[in-house]
Amino acid sequence: MARSAIRDVGTYWNRNLFGIMVRPASPDDLASVNGVIRSAIMSWGIPDRVKRLSLPIYSYSLQDMKYLSMCVAEDETGIVGVAACEPAHDSETPIRKTGVLLHGIYVRSDRHRQGVGTQLLCEARRHTRRCDADGLLVKAHSD
């Protein structure tokens, strides 16, 4: 499976009933994307020290954008969510199957439980189909 990024597959915009638009992320979005990740991590039910130590690990760089397929969810306030995918390694998929690994999905804490994460997950599933992969691999925890 080729390492095609969402932005390379085609330009698209989805607007749902809640006014959320999903689009490919661009390098200009990086600061906002990392702001969303920070907001999401700070809402996790873990000690503050662990949150602070986690931020650099979960934040994305321009280099990451070269290898990950990334999309953002926007509303009238700006970017409120981000999802990133990458081709799943053969060791993570059944024999003779291909997959896309959901690398991360984050939603700004003030937009939790409002459909943003669902929209991003739906876009990750569409991306999986565009890549002709057999499935979407999700490794997640509740926060």
**Which domains, ranges and CATH numbers included, belong to the chain?**
6-138 (3.40.630.30)
Closest CA to 123 of 88, 79, 87, 72: 72
Instruction: Tell me which H or E stretch contains 123.
Output: helix 116-130
Give the pLDDT score at 14. 52
Average pLDDT over residues 62-72: 93
Distance CA 38, CA 47 (A): 14
pTM over 0.85: no
Average pLDDT over residues 37-59: 93
Distance CA 123, CA 102 (A): 11
